[in-house]
Amino acid sequence: MILSIGFGGSWLKNMKSCNQCGKCCIKYADGGLSATPDEIDWWEEHRPGIAKYVTGGDIWKDPVTGQQLSRCPWLIELAGENKYACQIYHDRPDDCKQYPVHIAEMVRDECEMIEKSDLIDSQKAQRRLDIIMSDSRPHYGA
């Protein structure tokens, strides 16, 4: 699926929608993510099941051993679909909500949203990414 977004009176062909490949969740879930103290406090009060995976301010720790998990405990593979879903999508950390931030990050992580045309003009692609992500984070460099 290709998204088209009106911008400045013209229509831009944007990168593909997220196909839920899980690459970003799998790559960063083993200690590459953080949560703010406010997020952790909110989880403790409203979602204690999430909070039990926090140890010393670090997220996705085994509740019994305190060891870093190698995979996010909330990431599930959808049976027979080769897709993943987040069980805490609406309450996930800001680190997750704000990904991806920039095109270079998407290239490094082999994000499947990116199109070949995005590699030709990365500044234009960054503007398009900022539009797509505008409900999750400020524009990159803002």
pLDDT digits (tens, 9 = 90+) for 47-106: 999 999 999 999 999 999 999 999 999 999 999 998 999 999 999 998 888 887 788 888
Q: What is the pLDDT of residue 117?
A: 78
Q: What is the pLDDT of residue 74?
A: 95
More confident residue, 125 or 23: 23
Structure tokens at 35: 């949560």
Distance CA 10, CA 95 (A): 32
Q: What is the pLDDT of residue 63?
A: 96
Q: Would you say residue 3 has pLDDT above 70?
A: no
What does pTM read for this prediction? Answer: 0.74
Contact indicator for 68, 92 with CB cutoff of 8 Å = no
Contact indicator for 25, 86 with CB cutoff of 8 Å = yes
Contact indicator for 66, 55 with CB cutoff of 8 Å = yes
Q: Give Rg (Cα) of the chain.
A: 17
Q: What is the pLDDT of residue 10?
A: 37
pLDDT tens-digit profile of 127-140? 887 777 777 766 66
Q: Would you say residue 2 has pLDDT above 80?
A: no
Q: Would you say residue 121 has pLDDT above 70?
A: yes
Residue 137 CB contacts under 8 Å (≥ 6 apart), including other chains: 97, 98, 101
Structure tokens at 24: 């970003």
Q: Would you say residue 6 has pLDDT above 50?
A: no
Q: What is the pLDDT of residue 25?
A: 87
More confident residue, 10 or 66: 66
Contact indicator for 118, 125 with CB cutoff of 8 Å = yes
Q: Would you say residue 142 has pLDDT above 90?
A: no
Distance CA 119, CA 81 (A): 28
Q: What is the pLDDT of residue 139?
A: 67
Could you identify the residue written with the tokens 């803002």? 142
